[in-house]
């Protein structure tokens, strides 16, 4: 019997046993796992269906806006395809980049006052994690004609050991200017400096600078 033969047949996950000319074989039946839909929640009353050809409806998490139609489809190849994305939605006055929101403080402040203002806005002074984020900030400075821009790196606790105010982690990526940081007159904070080709420079924490918040 068909059931008996298929019961003894080992099909891989995502396949089902079928009979073709009195022989058992395995064919695609459903998608494995869940679709890759960052920042989205399933919006189906009966849960997820993995059947081939089925489309599942999603909705974006709070604070996100949808781009595209809110569906993930189980394709005939047995692979999920998402036809939408959920993008972070920044408040007015903030700029979006790489899934984060950034605010350029228009007024010049000390480190302490800059961080206080960022925290009031639910954020911290920026943590620059890689070259792409650094380059983006350099371009923002060029577009907005900013000569000096405070970032959230400091070595206040231990000279030469730089940390991020953002999450108190060690500074990994750096882009210091030539012969920087030099700790001239006990400089324990950092800025992006136009005259250094927008590379990093150590600066006094009490210097009055424009600043970047990130959340």
- pLDDT tens, position by position, 52-106: 999 999 999 887 889 999 999 999 999 999 999 998 889 999 999 988 999 999 9
Per-residue pLDDT, 2: 47
Asked whether residue 35 is domain-assigned, the answer is no
Q: Same domain for 79 and 12?
A: no
Could you read off the pLDDT of 173-199 as tens digits, one per residue? Answer: 999 999 899 888 789 999 999 999 999
Q: Same domain for 203 and 109?
A: yes
Per-residue pLDDT, 13: 87
CB atoms within 10 A of CB 22: 7
**Residue 1: is its pLDDT beyond 70?**
no
**Residue 118: is its pLDDT beyond 50?**
yes
Q: Same domain for 125 and 152?
A: yes
- The string of DSSP codes covering the chain is -HHHHHHT--PPTTEEEEEETTEEEEEE-B--S----TTEEE--TT----BTT-EEEEEEPTTEEEEEEEEEEE-TTS-EEEEEEEEE-PPTT-EEETTEEEEEEEEEE-HHHHHHHHHHTT-EE----SHHHHHHHHHHHHHHT-SEEEEEEE-SSSTT--EETTTSPBP-S--B-TT----TTS--EEEEEGGGTTEEEEE-TTS-EEEEEE-
Per-residue pLDDT, 102: 97
Q: Same domain for 8 and 48?
A: no
Mean pLDDT of all residues in 29-52: 92
pTM here?
Answer: 0.66
Number of domains in the chain: 3
Query: What whole-number percentage of the chain has pLDDT above 90?
Result: 74
Mean pLDDT of all residues in 149-171: 95
Q: Domain of 55: which CATH number?
A: 2.10.70
Per-residue pLDDT, 208: 98
Q: Same domain for 55 and 109?
A: no
Q: Domain of 173: which CATH number?
A: 3.10.100.10
Per-residue pLDDT, 62: 82
Residue 133 belongs to domain spanning: 95-214
Provide the 3-class DSSP secondary structure of residue 148. strand
Q: Same domain for 78 and 26?
A: no
């Amino acid at each position: 019997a068909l059931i008996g033969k298929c019961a003894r047949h080992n099909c891989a996950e995502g396949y089902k046993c079928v009979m073709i000319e009195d022989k058992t074989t395995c064919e695609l039946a459903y998608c494995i796992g869940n679709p890759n839909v960052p920042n989205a929640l399933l919006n189906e009353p009966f849960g997820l269906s993995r059947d081939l050809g089925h489309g599942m409806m999603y909705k974006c998490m709070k604070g996100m806006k949808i781009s595209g139609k809110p569906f993930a489809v189980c394709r005939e190849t047995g692979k999920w395809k998402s036809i939408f994305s959920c993008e972070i939605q920044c408040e007015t006055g903030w700029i979006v980049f790489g899934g984060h929101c950034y605010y350029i403080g228009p007024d010049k402040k000390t480190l302490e006052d800059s961080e206080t203002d960022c925290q009031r806005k639910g954020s911290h002074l920026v943590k620059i994690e890689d070259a792409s984020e650094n380059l983006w900030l350099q371009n923002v400075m060029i577009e907005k004609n900013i000569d000096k821009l405070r970032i959230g790196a400091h070595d206040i606790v231990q000279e030469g050991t730089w940390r991020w105010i953002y999450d108190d982690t060690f500074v990994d990526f750096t882009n210091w200017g030539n012969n920087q940081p030099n700790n001239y007159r006990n400089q324990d904070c950092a800025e992006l400096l136009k005259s250094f080709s927008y590379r990093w420079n150590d600066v006094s924490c009490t210097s009055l600078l424009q600043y970047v918040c990130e959340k």
